Amino acid sequence: MARIIVLDKYTADQIAAGEVVERPSSVVKELVENAIDAGARRIAIDIEDGGLSVITVSDDGCGIEEEDLELAFQRHATSKITSTGDLACICTLGFRGEALPSIAAVSKLTVTTRTHDAMTGTQAQIEGGALVAMAPAGAPPGTSVTVKELFYNTPARRKTMKSPATEASLCGELISRLALARPDIRYEMRAKGRDVFYSAGSGRLADAATAVYGAAMAREMIPLDFTEEGIAISGLVGKPSISRSTRSHITLVINGRYVRCTPVTAAVEAAYQTLLPQGRKPVVILSLDIPPERLDVNVHPAKLEVRLLEEGKMAALVKRALLEALRTKAIIPSAASATHRKYQSGLVMPQFDTPIRQERFSGLVQSQSGAQIIPESKNSPDVTSTTPQPYGQLSESRFAGAEEEPAGYDNQAVPFPELQPLAQLPPLYILAAGEDGLYIIDQHAAHERVLYEDFLAGQNSAQSQCLLGPVTLELDYREAALLTERILWFTEAGFIIEHFGGNTFLLRGVPSRFPAGQEKTIFFDLLDYFREKGNDSSRTEFFDVLAASLACKNAVKSGEKLTLTAMEALLRSLSGKANPFTCPHGRPAVIKITYRDLATRFKR
């Protein structure tokens, strides 16, 4: 091993920069936070090539004194705290004194600044962390920082950047979150000189939400206001009708800081648990004001996470606040609680909520007629040959439901058995007899599987159906960028989309057999997919997500009553599918209880 040395400033700054400056959006975050701390009312963000070639953040804040300017670029130089004692009650966004030196270490940076009572401004240029020039300069009060050629001297980091369009959309997403965190500040973002985002800075969260999500979505959000034990919780909570498939639309703000905090997000989701179908996430903007000594903001180099001192208590409070807001606005349908009671009584059989719906299977019956794909059985039913085990040998676990195996779940090559539907068990099961026992089929999962494979089989000849009236899609900046980048796949799938102006698009057509009224939900599911996958998205997966989404929305629901003919048709269609035993999400569609299991259970 070599001897231990203290690293030189250049190397140390580069190491620190690696933690703080991950990509262009992290530079934007640090610069905007500095502007907010400087008391800015208006912040303008200009980026080029997704921020990889130029990022400029200008504010009308307090400015930096000329004699402090050089100091601002030294590590651990800050005007926001003076000692560890201050760490316990931080009221500013910055406090580490690391952002400016870190950004300056990996870019070519120019800062122009003027305090409100100075006659002229000052401009400094820093390259790779070293000050190369400083001179007086004419400037309006406030500060403007321009970061050029980010990562020019760290080629390895530069290589990990995504496409300029993706980096730009990440910057846009970040600005949206900051605008939601501080509705009192006016944000203007431009990319390549074009306006991409603007928030008025009116101080009203509803206005900021409209700027970010569009008026249609903002209208579906309910204000929340709750104070207890010195903790103020406010924000906007989305009605269940505007749920999303990822957490991308949950924004958490703690003491004015946009952060991630797992226990609080979990509490938000818990509040929606009974209101949203499985896998759906709410749209929520939640702002918590907590006495600074009750949280630790110094747990993450980019200050993206905070730790709450009384996590459990805070989570419970958040959940209660959300439930109260959702309940007072009568979002929780009374029918839901009524059904709940019915099930609780234990004696009342679950009932179907809807009348018989056979028509949707009539097509299936026809298309499958004469095309029996059910394999010939090789073994004859084996009920009599089952050797009953003496009581003593029966292990406890055999009674614990171990026998109800997902039929063919482990082995997808198992042929689908010939099944005779016997009855429907409300609210969503089909009971069917097979040669080796009783089969229980989840009608929704089974129908999903059928529709999913049918859609994929026809995907290369995808047809569009025109909508009677266009559906307006108000997107946020990131979504608009994602859509533009992938418009070809949408078109190939059968969507007809037209640019209306700004981040607004018109949906004029959808793939054929599209469930009416679900246009937006399914469209946004697809955008969420791109948001999550970024550059890793693939055409195959895109069609898969679309097929699964269409299948789920079109499939018979729990509570729908089916006739025997409809059940027969469904089972016949299912038997012809490549993976009939699971739904497109991988959950079992069919389970079986063999005659052997029954014999054992009845102790025969």
- DSSP notation for 183-242: TTSEEEEEETTEEEEEE---S-HHHHHHHHH-HHHHHTEEEEEEEETTEEEEEEEE-GGG
> Beta strands 42-48 and 186-191: pairing type?
parallel
- The site that binds ligand ADP (CB under 6 A) totals a number of residues, namely 22
From 26-34, 111-119, 120-128, 401-409, span contacting Mg ion (CB under 5 A)? 26-34
Among 99, 231, 527, 547, binds Mg ion (CB under 5 A): 99
Task: For residue 80, state whether it binds ligand ADP (rule: CB under 6 A).
Answer: yes
Among 55, 72, 318, 482, binds ligand ADP (CB under 6 A): 72
Binding pattern to ligand ADP, positions 42-71, x when CB under 6 A? Answer: -----------------x-xxxx-------
Cα(first)–Cα(last) distance of the chain, in Å?
A: 74
Minimal distance, residue 28 CB to ligand ADP, in Å: 13
Among 17, 38, 126, 567, binds ligand ADP (CB under 6 A): 38
Rama region for 524: left / alpha / beta (φ>0; ψ in -120 to 50; rest): alpha
Q: Which does 594 bind (CB under 5 to 8 A by kind): ligand ADP, Mg ion, none?
A: none
Task: For residue 121, state whether it binds Mg ion (rule: CB under 5 A).
Answer: no
Listed in order, strand segments (DSSP E) in 355-488 are: 405-406, 420-425, 429-434, 437-442, 464-474
Minimal distance, residue 41 CB to ligand ADP, in Å: 13
Task: For residue 54, state whether it binds Mg ion (rule: CB under 5 A).
Answer: no
Task: For residue 508, state whether it binds ligand ADP (rule: CB under 6 A).
Answer: no
138/114 Cα distance (integer angstroms): 9
| CB nearer to Mg ion: pick between 62 and 285 | 62
Torsion of CA 64, 67, 70, 73, to 10 degrees: -40
| CB nearer to ligand ADP: pick between 99 and 317 | 99
The pair phi, psi for residue 316, each rounded to 5°, is: -65, -40
Task: For residue 243, state whether it binds ligand ADP (rule: CB under 6 A).
Answer: no
| CB nearer to ligand ADP: pick between 50 and 61 | 61
All residues at 6 or more sequence positions from 110 whose CB lies less than 8 Å from its CB, including other chains: 123, 124, 125, 126, 145, 146, 148
From 92-100, 186-194, 532-540, 578-586, span contacting ligand ADP (CB under 6 A)? 92-100
Q: What is the footprint of Mg ion within residues 511-550 (CB under 5 A)?
A: none
Q: Which does 172 bind (CB under 5 to 8 A by kind): Mg ion, ligand ADP, none?
A: none
All residues at 6 or more sequence positions from 568 whose CB lies less than 8 Å from its CB, including other chains: 365, 421
Task: For residue 256, state whether it binds ligand ADP (rule: CB under 6 A).
Answer: no
All residues at 6 or more sequence positions from 481 whose CB lies less than 8 Å from its CB, including other chains: 165, 166, 168, 169, 172
Using a 10 angstrom Cβ sphere, with 0-12 exposed, 13-18 middle and 19 or more buried, the burial of residue 422 is: middle
Q: What is the footprint of ligand ADP within residues 471-500 (CB under 6 A)?
A: none
Chain contacts with ligand ADP (rule: CB under 6 A) = 30, 34-35, 38, 59, 61-64, 72, 77-80, 94-100, 143
Chain contacts with Mg ion (rule: CB under 5 A) = 34, 94, 99
